[in-house]
Structure 1
Amino acid sequence: MKNILTYILLTTILLFGKSQISYGQTTINMKKEGGVYSIPCSVNGIGLKFIFDTGASNVSISLTEANFLFKNGYLTKKDIIGSANFQDATGNVSVGTIINIRKLEFSGIILNNVEAQVVHELNAPLLLGQSAMAKLGKFQFDPNSGALTLLDNSIKIIDSGTKEGRAYCDSGNSKQELEDYNGAMTDYNKAIDINPNFFRCYWLRGVLKSVMGDNNGAIIDFTKSIKLNPDFKMAYVNRGWSKADLEDFKGSIIDFTKAIQVWDGKDDLAIIYFSRGCSKKELKDEIGAIADFNKAIELDPNDFQAYGNRGHSKMILKDYKGAIADFDKLIEIHPEDGLAFYNRGQAKMALGQKDNACMDWRKAGELGYENVFEDIKEYCN
């Protein structure tokens, strides 16, 4: 008998990324440290780690950071607004200086002209407070997971893209949906020329390159998108698919694992576990693959591809009864799948169930799976 065929359908999966552009909603996953959630930020180009604190009225930095920023030219006298007294959570009043942060960046989002306070204490905590959060429009924060979701219609979210840049990127996405790939590429290039930090447009251009068969070029764009926004989950997913297409399965597993780590919620997560399982199968890690297919099926009980691949892995591990159970489920969900009948027939033949195997193979032939006829001729006549 010929080797069993798998159900890996990366061409279909790649299309998953085409229409996932959404300028209004972004999820930022923060890290919990010492009982509080922190988020890396850039203040006028200098990286600092802030504590997320919706109870703080302003962004707040200590005298230590302020002195460094002034000494190195990242803050100037023009950025000083004035002085004020501040009351902390304990009720104590302290003196501080009000400054203007010209550019505050985090997770690919750029906020301009953010009012902040310099607390005249060397070890005061750095707080990301309301003067920044108010610029983001509506948002939700999950204190259990640390996920900060910036909701639709939050007009202050800018994705590092100006209005003109977005217009070109939207146009490119529309042309891509109509399969005008050359026109889409032209528009994406224009959008990125206008906004070199437009992380979503790098991602969309990468998806287009992968559809056009340029996976190396796609990986460059996905990597740029990730560099600009390390929490942008879809860039990891698409880069993983491109690496898998180039048979860099170890690299794809790393990307799928990162995507799972930053994923918010359960929607579409099954396909990421499925993809990672496929890459593990290519590396002959059948046990690891089964674990991922189990998770994919748990998240999406109708994922027939996961049943097919899990059945294939069980066949390799000589768990023929388990494989038959998976092919049974696949056929229940997708009864017109000739390959499923063929594979189930192979498992039955391995158990010595020749008559039942031949019945499945004949059904596979009726459904148009032509490769089965050689086996029927050899074993069933």
Structure 2
Amino acid sequence: MNKKIFGSLIVLIIAIGSISAHPDEENPKDIFYSGLAFRIQKTGKFHINMVHLSESYSNSIYGIFASAYLNQVNGNFKECINKFTTVINTKPISDSRLVSEAYFYMGNCNFDLGNYDLAINNYSQTISFDRENNATETYLNSMLERAKTYNRIRRFDLAKNDITSAIQRIENEIQFDQYYNLEQLHIDRIALNVTLKEYNQAIPDCDWIINNSKDKKDMGYLHRGQIKYKFLQDYDGGFTDYKKAFEINPNNFSAIASSIEVLNTRKEYSEIPIYVTKALKIKPRLGVLYYTRGYFLEQLGNRKDACIDMKESLKYTSENVTRDSEGYYSFDHIPAAKSFINSMCK
């Protein structure tokens, strides 16, 4: 049987068992598990069940869990931790999944409080339950939250390990693919590999995006081009990838701006005005682009068109140029454009 269908049947069976029960036959454990069954689908059922548990079964261990969860939702992180600690320390308790979930949510509360070491320990506790009860969704959630926490404390190597484990788990258990953004996880691992200066290891993730993404193939080429050009000194390979990214998505400003950077590095100045013109189609109000095109037109002996561009550049403010140019330009073009016009355009 298809894994995805099998998983859906399990969810449906659990849900029907809870929904069909008469109010006087309710079991707080069933309410807890029916909520978990729907949590990954983000239907709101989990939250609804937690509210019901906290209101109707406040003295049960599941009601205490629900109250702790709601404290987290409301930003009462210290009370959240206190209540989840009560759940974890309650004896006897035979529900290991409940304890696993308590550690996970307590990790979230500690993260929000900035207690990163405690959060890592909490997530690690949840992960340790995985072999026992195969709580795959909770395992993945904990792995990803622990990766985020490692990233926060700049343990990028450990963050990468967790992202890798999550990717492998999702790819091996196809029923979870629809609920997790594999594309973003590959992009996250690209960033971590670049930070760790493990550039060659970032290339396969770029290739994955190129081969598997439905609407972001251009970003795979862009990232691969940046790695080749900036870190591996493969200027030709980087330029080829930038051009491919722009061909796929003509609105990818980073791809065209990066192409201009390569052309300038290779001193292929005659091509730069052509590429700046393409950039202006994306950002027609970015004054520094008119200045840039004008500058290179003058270098190529076309002073008439250079003056036209310099004058055009003065129509646009240089305020927020770094933001508006996505970090590719950071200087105030206006003084330089005025100086050029005064000396060259009489």
TM-score tier, shorter chain, comes to 0.5 to 0.7
Supply the distance in 1 between the matched residues of 2:226 and 2:108 (Cα, whole angstroms): 29
Structure with the largest fraction of strand = 1
Deviation for aligned residue 1:226 = 0.7
Supply the distance in 2 between the matched residues of 1:334 and 1:209 (Cα, whole angstroms): 44
Question: Per the alignment, in what secondary structure is the counterpart of residue 302 of structure 1?
Answer: coil
TM-score, normalized by length of structure 1? Answer: 0.49
Q: Which has the higher contact order (CA 8 A, sep 6+)?
A: 1
Partner of residue 289, structure 2: 362
Matches within 5 A, 1:280-359: 280-303=193-216, 306-315=220-229, 316-324=231-239, 326-327=241-242, 335=251, 341-354=256-269, 357=272, 359=276
**Does the Cα contact within 8 Å between 2:69 and 2:105 map onto a contact in 1?**
no
For residue 186 of structure 1, the aligned residue among 79, 84, 89 is 79
Structure with the largest fraction of helix = 2
Partner of residue 372, structure 1: 329
**Residue type at the aligned position of 2:228:** K
Supply the distance in 1 between the matched residues of 2:7 and 2:244 (Cα, whole angstroms): 36
Deviation for aligned residue 1:371 = 6.2
CA distance 1:224–1:318, change in 2 (3 Å): same
Deviation for aligned residue 1:289 = 0.4
Deviation for aligned residue 1:229 = 2.6
**Does the Cα contact within 8 Å between 2:242 and 2:258 map onto a contact in 1?**
yes
Partner of residue 63, structure 1: none
Gaps of 5+ in 2: 19-29, 37-59, 90-97, 280-287, 293-320, 341-346
Question: Per the alignment, in what secondary structure is the counterpart of residue 151 of structure 1?
Answer: helix
**Residue type at the aligned position of 2:80:** D
**Residue type at the aligned position of 1:171:** L
Gaps of 5+ in 1: 1-139, 176-180
Q: What RMSD, in angstroms, separates the aligned Cα atoms of the two structures?
A: 4.2
CA distance 1:362–1:287, change in 2 (3 Å): same
Partner of residue 271, structure 1: 184
Deviation for aligned residue 1:354 = 3.4
Partner of residue 3, structure 1: none
Question: Per the alignment, in what secondary structure is the counterpart of residue 247 of structure 1?
Answer: coil
**Does the Cα contact within 8 Å between 2:77 and 2:112 map onto a contact in 1?**
no
For residue 161 of structure 2, the aligned residue among 241, 254, 261 is 254
**Does the Cα contact within 8 Å between 2:225 and 2:238 map onto a contact in 1?**
yes
For residue 124 of structure 2, the aligned residue among 223, 233, 237 is 223
Deviation for aligned residue 1:233 = 1.3
Are residues 1:142 and 2:8 paired?
no
Partner of residue 151, structure 1: 11
**Residue type at the aligned position of 2:211:** E
Supply the distance in 2 between the matched residues of 1:147 and 1:238 (Cα, whole angstroms): 24
Matches within 5 A, 1:103-182: 142=3, 150-152=10-12, 154=14, 155=18, 156=30, 158=33, 162-172=61-71, 174-175=73-74, 181=75
Q: Deviations over 1:37-87 (max 9, x none)?
A: xxxxxxxxxxxxxxxxxxxxxxxxxxxxxxxxxxxxxxxxxxxxxxxxxxx
Matches within 5 A, 1:16-27: none
Question: Per the alignment, in what secondary structure is the counterpart of residue 251 of structure 1?
Answer: helix
TM-score, normalized by length of structure 2? Answer: 0.53
Deviation for aligned residue 1:288 = 0.9
**Residue type at the aligned position of 2:232:** L
**Does the Cα contact within 8 Å between 1:338 and 1:368 map onto a contact in 2?**
no
Supply the distance in 1 between the matched residues of 2:245 and 2:115 (Cα, whole angstroms): 33
**Does the Cα contact within 8 Å between 1:141 and 1:148 map onto a contact in 2?**
no
Equivalent residues, number: 232
CA distance 1:210–1:345, change in 2 (3 Å): farther
Deviation for aligned residue 1:340 = 5.2
Supply the distance in 1 between the matched residues of 2:234 and 2:9 (Cα, whole angstroms): 44
Supply the distance in 1 between the matched residues of 2:270 and 2:108 (Cα, whole angstroms): 47
For residue 245 of structure 1, the aligned residue among 152, 156, 162 is 152
**Residue type at the aligned position of 1:235:** S
Deviation for aligned residue 1:168 = 2.0
CA distance 1:376–1:356, change in 2 (3 Å): farther
CA distance 1:348–1:211, change in 2 (3 Å): farther
Q: Deviations over 1:235-254 (max 9, x none)?
A: 11221222223222221222
**Residue type at the aligned position of 1:225:** T
Question: Per the alignment, in what secondary structure is the counterpart of residue 260 of structure 2?
Answer: helix
Supply the distance in 1 between the matched residues of 2:263 and 2:109 (Cα, whole angstroms): 43
